[in-house]
Copies of this chain bind each other. A is one copy, B any other.
Amino acid sequence: MSWTIDVDDLPDLARGAALLGTGGGGDPTIGMLLVKAAIEEHGPVTILDPSELDDDALVIPTAQMGAPTVVLERIPAGPEPLGALRRLEQHLGRTATATMPIECGGINSMIPLLVGATGGLPVVDADGMGRAFPELQMETFSVYGVPGSPLAISDENGHGVVIDTGHDNRQMEWLARGVTIRLGGVAYIAEYAMTGRQVKDTAVPRTLSLALSVGRAVRQAREEHRDPVAALAEAFSQTIYTHLRELFDGKVVDVERRTVDGFAKGRAVVQGADGSALEIAFQNENLVARRDGRLVAVVPDLVCVLDAETAEPITTERLRYGQRVRVIGVSTPDLMRTPEALAVFGPSCFGLDDAFVPVEDLHDRVPAGAR
């Protein structure tokens, strides 16, 4: 059931990862170019289905940490992410069987592929966020009992930090964020080292496959002059991300964005032809969408802003006044909506007063193709 990712798959994967990044997670294009160069040098990357892992395999997830706005300005040279994995292996005194994404949205879909290509490691088709989230404790791994510590950080100078906060994943995030800020706003991390059994029990499965199929659906719809949002709805309906709802259609009329405490925080307003407005608040990722003050989708469900013509996902740092966009909401899998999960990455974790309501319950089904 293992498969390989080759250079030709990368544009679709990047598009799907940008979409699952829900506006954040960092632009996967930069990561894609690094993975492309690495695959051209070292060959395709093997992707393992979680079910293929031995229960006692050691899986070390790898990622980039930092504000997306800074990542745009400080491009990794290539070997840094593998450096983080090697540093954690050295600390643990064990060798990893495979690496894995901690989030399936944005650049962090790509970083483990870079580690896989440069380090000769397979990559597990699963992740710990099922989307992108701004903080390291916001992981299904964390929700279901895997400690993030020890966490290894590596930078482009070969410097490194190992953080161990026991089971306190929030404090781990706090310290790692502080180090990342002092490293200039971007760092490479390895964390949540876990067994194959723990991957099967706590990860959101098959999210690399999901990103690839979602990215491919948009491209094929474009090539065949079909509505790309309808194609997306069809692609999601065949996965554990079952429901897509189109939330809004209009023009970006306002964007506020600041880099605060190592995060890109802000809001965007989209105005419709009928004068109604959709407001989206974000902290790296889109968190909540309100239409004329009424909740239409809220974290952990996905809120994605797409180019109105091409359905190309638009990250928060690329939002600009005047863009014509379509905004969609997508339901997240059951393991991301449990009370335990909502306690770690539900609305209240971002300072929002809204209770979580599934996106499919906030809307009657309006097939996107019927617009």
The interface of chain A, by Cβ under 8 A from chain B, is 91, 157-166, 168, 171, 174-175, 177-179, 181-183
11 contacts between A and B (CB under 8 A): A91-B162, A157-B165, A159-B164, A159-B166, A159-B168, A160-B163, A160-B164, A161-B161, A161-B175, A175-B183, A177-B182
**Contact status B165-A164, CB under 8 Å:** no
**Contact status B179-A159, CB under 8 Å:** no
**Contact status A168-B175, CB under 8 Å:** no
**Complexed CA–CA distance, A295 and B163 (Å):** 45
**Contact status A161-B159, CB under 8 Å:** no
**Contact status A179-B168, CB under 8 Å:** no
Question: Which residues from chain B contact A162 at a C-beta distance below 8 Å?
Answer: 91, 161-162
CB distance from A177 to the nearest CB of B (A): 8
Q: Which of A157, A159, A181 has the most CB of B within 10 A?
A: A159
Beyond A162-B161, A165-B159, is A175–B179 a contact (Cβ under 8 Å)? yes
Q: A157-B168, A159-B168, A178-B182 are in contact. List 19 more A-B contacts (CB 8 A).
A: A157-B165, A157-B171, A159-B165, A159-B166, A159-B171, A160-B163, A160-B164, A161-B161, A161-B162, A161-B163, A161-B164, A161-B175, A162-B162, A174-B182, A175-B182, A178-B178, A178-B179, A178-B181, A179-B179
Question: Which residues from chain B contact A182 at a C-beta distance below 8 Å?
Answer: 174-175, 177-178
CB distance from A52 to the nearest CB of B (A): 34
CB distance from A317 to the nearest CB of B (A): 25
**Contact status A158-B166, CB under 8 Å:** yes
Question: Which residues from chain B contact A174 at a C-beta distance below 8 Å?
Answer: 182
Question: Which residues from chain B contact A163 at a C-beta distance below 8 Å?
Answer: 159-161
Q: Which residue of B lies closest to A162 (CB)?
A: B162
Question: Which residues from chain B contact A181 at a C-beta distance below 8 Å?
Answer: 178
Question: Which residues from chain B contact A160 at a C-beta distance below 8 Å?
Answer: 163-164
Question: Which residues from chain B contact A164 at a C-beta distance below 8 Å?
Answer: 159-161
Q: Which residue of B lies closest to A149 (CB)?
A: B159
Question: Which residues from chain B contact A171 at a C-beta distance below 8 Å?
Answer: 157, 159
**Complexed CA–CA distance, A227 and B164 (Å):** 52
Q: Which residue of B lies closest to A158 (CB)?
A: B166
CB distance from A179 to the nearest CB of B (A): 6
Question: Which residues from chain B contact A165 at a C-beta distance below 8 Å?
Answer: 157, 159
Question: Which residues from chain B contact A161 at a C-beta distance below 8 Å?
Answer: 161-164, 175
